[in-house]
Structure 1
Amino acid sequence: MTMRLISQARDEDVATTPMRLVNLPEVDAVFATNAAVGVRLVSAVDESQWPTEHPTLHILRKQYTDISPERV
């Protein structure tokens, strides 16, 4: 649900793609989403490591926190 909300908030097409472990060294950043924490940076998976700060993470977190909550 969190990724769907972020996708709706962005002004561009968003695609999610399954990622194989062998391809992880090729990416600049990895993040995970869920309703409890919103957007969280992943700093390492096995031998692959990424910086603990990334500009895209800050953008996604801001977009997520700017989404108005729905009354249920």
Structure 2
Amino acid sequence: MRRQGELIDDLYRRLGAPAPAPGPSATVPAEITDALRAGKLPIVMKLWHERNGGSLGDAKKQVEEYARSLGL
């Protein structure tokens, strides 16, 4: 699925058209969003890390950024 997104982004770049911004629900599973809204940060970080890989430090930064985008 991630590869498809990369191909679509490349297509938009080649066409010179701005890519539509996906809503949070399009990119982040509801399970993560619900846990974040419930204040279950350790669970959110674990799920995020499992889904996206990278370090736990990166997961923490990304989760915090996502929380800010939700106004939390």
| Larger Rg over CA atoms | 2
Structure with a larger share of its residues in strand: 1
> Do they superpose with TM above 0.5?
no
Q: Please, what TM-score do these two structures have when normalized by structure 1?
A: 0.31
Q: Which has the higher contact order (CA 8 A, sep 6+)?
A: 1
Structure with a larger share of its residues in helix: 2
Q: Please, what TM-score do these two structures have when normalized by structure 2?
A: 0.31
